[in-house]
Amino acid sequence: MAKLDETLTMLKDLTDAKGISGNEKESREVMERYITPYADEVYTDNLGSLVAKKTGDENGPKIMVAGHLDEIGFMVTRIDDNGFVYFQTIGGWWSQVMLAQRVTIVTANGDVTGVIGSKPPHILPAEARKKPIDIKDMFIDIGASSKKEAQEFGVKPGDSVVPYFEFTPLKNEKMLLAKAWDNRIGCAIAIEVLKQLKDENHPNIVYGVGTIQEETGLRGAKTSAHLIQPDIGFGVDVGIAGDTPGIKDHEADSKLGKGPQIIIYDASMISHKGVRDLVVQTADENNIPYQYASIAAGGTDSGSIHLTANGVPSLSITVASRYIHTHAAIIHRDDFENAVKLIVETIKKLDSDKVKEIILA
């Protein structure tokens, strides 16, 4: 692997961390380590979402920038007499990307390596071989010879099962391959936004947030936004890239390296027109590339943030990603850096008068 600079080291630490929905401790600790030097105060809500507060003008509006700490994975539900482990999916999985993939079971005794298996195609009827294997017919092989041995390894129901993949810059070093871009890249954006505002006299209070359980219903965004009571919300996440073979423009037209995505609509919210207009204006003024996108069948943390208290004008800004909700996805470093720049420049404009103007837009 090429030598990693400071930013790539942060991205590696974030994506290599294990943190499925409901067990985000490891990823939270990594985010806390990186964001604390740029925050005035760091704390959590009662479910474990991380909040890093940085005050510019203590009388200014509160701006929330939220990425989610959790990644999709699995949970152990039972062990059979032969030592094979069965599981519940955590978050959205497509069965075709799961078989023969390496996983890590996080136990009280340490990590246990396994691989997702099923009945081999060689013994299936011809018709069955043409169909994807149902998730309910899959299991995890940890090399145990019995239920007793699996239990001796430390495996028990409720344990987290995390996809295994190591962060890897590709030959084109701006193309970054890793697990959990969904959504450690959002956490990285929140960290970098606070870092770039460190010596800025911004007219507001900024909260960089790592939320929990986004993949299972935008839950941490709801509790952390209730705690913060923000005036403006930004959900930062991954979006769909449409630049691989077979995808038509009307399905997805975003391309890696062409700028962050401004989400105009998703299944959890319609983006706030006033916030959206300000972000687009800011991008144009600063020559920051951007792409419009919509996500008809998915949501982001903004879906919970914008419904907090009496309403929070919100927008999702995302990084186009190939192969999300698999063991390995690809993003472009320029899109990450431009997303940070766009949010930082927008935050500099968000004083009390601007927020009032946005609410009435």
Q: Is 164:102 a contact under the CB 8 Å cutoff?
A: yes
Rounded CA-CA distance 237/329 in Å is: 13
What does the pLDDT look like over 106-163, one tens digit per residue? 999 999 999 999 988 888 888 888 888 999 999 999 999 999 999 999 999 999 999 9
Rounded CA-CA distance 288/335 in Å is: 10
pLDDT the model gives residue 285: 98
Q: Which of 214, 251, 285, 357 is catalytic?
A: 214
Rounded CA-CA distance 25/260 in Å is: 28
Residue 288, judged by CB atoms within 10 A of its CB (0-12, 13-18, 19+), counts as buried
Q: Annotated binding residues for Zn(2+), as ranges?
A: 68, 182, 215, 237, 325
Q: Annotated binding residues, as ranges?
A: 68, 182, 215, 237, 325
Rounded CA-CA distance 225/45 in Å is: 10
| Domains annotated on the chain, with CATH | 6-71+179-359 (3.40.630.10), 73-163 (2.40.30.40)
pLDDT the model gives residue 360: 85
Decide: helix, strand or coil at residue 121.
helix
Q: 309: alpha, beta or left, given left = phi > 0 and alpha = psi -120 to 50?
A: left
What does the pLDDT look like over 18-72, one tens digit per residue? 999 999 999 999 999 999 999 999 999 999 999 999 999 999 999 999 999 999 9
pLDDT band at 264 (very low <50, low <70, confident <90, very high): very high
Q: Which of 4-20 are b and which e, b meaning 16 or more Cβ less than 10 Å from the residue's Cβ?
A: eeeebebbbbbbbbbbb
What does the pLDDT look like over 69-104, one tens digit per residue? 999 999 999 999 999 999 999 999 999 999 999 999
The DSSP code for 122 is G
- H or E segment and range at residue 269: strand 269-270
Q: Beta partners for 314?
A: 233
214 is catalytic: yes
